[in-house]
């Protein structure tokens, strides 16, 4: 049995930033959730569909764990990542830091966690673990999942061993801050411009502003894409608005990051980006409501309007990122 003391649980919304906040505070670095997300260049967009998918997926952030790597690089943190195919070794990888008084981050499949509200497989879920006894592991998850929670050791082992999309091989990680980490203010501009560059010049048409434009063309066809519109369209809307995104497919979190940045840096480009991401957040919420309504009513007009909103979003976000790219 071991428990790391001094763990603070906050009202956070996204899994990876929640876990990172716990690990950072333990190292004496106290940042807001939007600042963690923004310094990790977390914002993105993907429209994903394929023969192996029951229904298209709209994603609003970079792929799992990329945010963690970006943040560690931005703040000069030592990121130690452990992966293994051995369950015994995997347990040692998390017990050792906890026994020595350090919380550890875990990437796992949320389906197997006792406390998790929705029983769907998601192999990119991230939690912070700060203790264990003979039967249970003690974790910090998002406010929506309960904050300070626990799961059986058997459930934790199954979640870490799961294979499938976005899973990792028993991945665990720790962060260690240098004696004099760079001030977050110094890393804002590189983080924003890196995020903008990726968004404005995506390698394929499913990503960034091109992906949003593609979604604008394809979302109006979604009633023909499913045999269960009353289930699949409201579920897609729910994933956009809730499901750990902070609302509006992560756009509210990024808007709040930019708002915090405007208090630290005086830049017209930054103020323009903040204003436009405020508009984008409202439009994403509108699009989600129209998609949900189309599923509930079978009304194709609602999907057509959602497509028009997404087309407008492609323009708004391209304009916002173009302004932000000029920060450098």
> pLDDT tens for residues 230-241?
999 999 999 999
294 pLDDT above the threshold of 90:
yes
- Say what the pLDDT of residue 53 is: 79
44 pLDDT above the threshold of 90:
yes
Q: Residue 164's pLDDT band (boundaries 50, 70, 90)?
A: confident
List Cα–Cα distances, 180 to 29, 155, 190, in angstroms: 11, 39, 19
DSSP-derived letter for residue 294 is H
Query: Can you tell me the mean pLDDT for 249-275?
Result: 97
Local structure of 251: helix, strand or coil: helix
Q: Residue 43 phi/psi, 5° resolution? A: -75, 140
Query: Can you tell me the mean pLDDT for 38-45?
Result: 98
Q: Is 38 exposed, middle or buried (0-12, 13-18, 19+ CB in 10 A)?
A: buried
Asked whether 141 and 7 are in contact (CB, 8 A), the reply is no
Query: Can you tell me the mean pLDDT for 128-147?
Result: 97
Buried b / exposed e along 294-324 (16+ C-beta atoms within 10 A): bbeeeeeebbebbbebbbbbbebbbbbbbbb
Tell me the domains of the chain and their CATH numbers. 2-30+78-176 (3.90.70), 184-325 (no CATH)
pLDDT digits (tens, 9 = 90+) for 104-116: 999 999 999 999 8
300 pLDDT above the threshold of 80:
yes
List Cα–Cα distances, 183 to 35, 177, 192, 260, 273, in angstroms: 12, 12, 15, 14, 22
Element (DSSP H or E) covering residue 195: helix 184-200
53 vs 224, more confident: 224
Cβ–Cβ contacts within 10 Å for residue 119, how many? 9
Query: Taking the model in full, what pTM does it have?
Result: 0.96
Would you list the DSSP string of 203-243?
Answer: SSTTBHHHHHHHHHHHGGGHHHH-S-HHHHHHHHHHHHHST
In the chain, the percentage of residues whose pLDDT exceeds 70 is 100
Query: Can you tell me the mean pLDDT for 292-306?
Result: 95
Token representation of residue 107: 């990437």
Residue from 201, 241, 273 nearest 38 by CA: 273
Query: Can you tell me the mean pLDDT for 173-196?
Result: 94
Q: Residue 272's pLDDT band (boundaries 50, 70, 90)?
A: very high
- Say what the pLDDT of residue 328 is: 77
212 pLDDT above the threshold of 80:
yes
In the chain, the percentage of residues whose pLDDT exceeds 90 is 90
Among the ranges given (55-59, 128-132, 180-184, 285-289), the one the predictor scored with the smallest mean pLDDT: 180-184
117 pLDDT above the threshold of 80:
no
Asked whether 29 and 9 are in contact (CB, 8 A), the reply is no
Question: Hey, which residues does 43 pair with through a beta bridge?
Answer: 61
- Say what the pLDDT of residue 32 is: 97
186 pLDDT above the threshold of 90:
yes
Asked whether 287 and 310 are in contact (CB, 8 A), the reply is yes
181 pLDDT above the threshold of 90:
no
Query: Can you tell me the mean pLDDT for 88-99?
Result: 98
- For residues 34 and 42, what is the distance between their CA atoms, to the nearest angstrom? 10
Residue with token string 């497989």: 121
Q: Residue 206's pLDDT band (boundaries 50, 70, 90)?
A: very high
- Say what the pLDDT of residue 188 is: 97
* CB hemisphere CA count around 34 (13 angstroms): 16
Average pLDDT, the chain: 95
Would you list the DSSP string of 44-106?
Answer: EEEEE--TT-SS-EEEEEPPTTHHHHHHHHHHT-EEEEE--S-HHHHHHHHHHHHHTT--EEE
90 pLDDT above the threshold of 90:
yes
Q: Residue 121's pLDDT band (boundaries 50, 70, 90)?
A: confident
Local structure of 4: helix, strand or coil: coil
Query: Can you tell me the mean pLDDT for 191-206?
Result: 97
Query: Can you tell me the mean pLDDT for 84-99?
Result: 97
- For residues 210 and 201, what is the distance between their CA atoms, to the nearest angstrom? 9
- Say what the pLDDT of residue 170 is: 97
Q: Residue 83's pLDDT band (boundaries 50, 70, 90)?
A: very high
């Amino acid at each position: 049995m071991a428990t790391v003391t001094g763990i603070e649980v906050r009202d956070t919304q996204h899994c990876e930033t929640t876990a990172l906040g716990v690990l950072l505070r333990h190292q004496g670095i106290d940042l807001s959730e939007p600042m963690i997300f923004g310094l990790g260049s977390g914002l993105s967009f993907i429209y994903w569909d394929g023969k192996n998918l029951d229904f298209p997926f709209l994603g609003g952030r970079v792929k799992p764990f990329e945010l963690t790597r970006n943040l560690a690089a931005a703040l000069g943190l030592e990121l130690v990542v452990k992966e293994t195919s051995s369950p015994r070794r995997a347990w040692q990888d998390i017990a050792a830091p906890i026994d020595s008084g350090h919380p550890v981050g875990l990437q796992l499949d949320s389906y197997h966690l006792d406390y998790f509200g929705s029983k769907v497989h998601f192999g990119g879920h991230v939690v912070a673990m700060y203790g264990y006894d003979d039967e249970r592991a003690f974790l910090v998850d998002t406010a929506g999942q309960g904050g300070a929670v626990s799961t059986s050791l058997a459930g934790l082992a199954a979640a870490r061993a799961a294979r499938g999309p976005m899973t990792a091989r028993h991945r665990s990680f720790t962060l260690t801050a240098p004696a004099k980490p760079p001030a977050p203010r110094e890393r804002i501009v590189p983080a924003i411009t890196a995020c903008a560059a990726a968004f404005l010049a995506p390698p394929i048409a499913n990503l960034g502003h091109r992906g949003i434009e593609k979604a604008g063309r394809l979302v109006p066809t979604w009633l023909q894409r499913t045999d269960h519109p009353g289930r699949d369209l409201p579920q897609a809307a729910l994933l956009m608005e809730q499901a750990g995104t902070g609302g509006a497919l992560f756009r509210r979190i990024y808007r709040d990051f930019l708002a915090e940045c405007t208090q630290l840096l005086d830049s017209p480009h930054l103020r323009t980006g903040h204003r436009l991401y405020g508009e984008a957040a409202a439009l994403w919420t509108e699009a989600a409501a129209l998609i949900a309504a189309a599923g509930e009513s079978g009304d194709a007009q609602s999907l057509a309007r959602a497509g028009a909103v997404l087309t407008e979003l492609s323009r708004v976000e391209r304009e916002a990122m173009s302004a932000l790219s000029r920060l450098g």
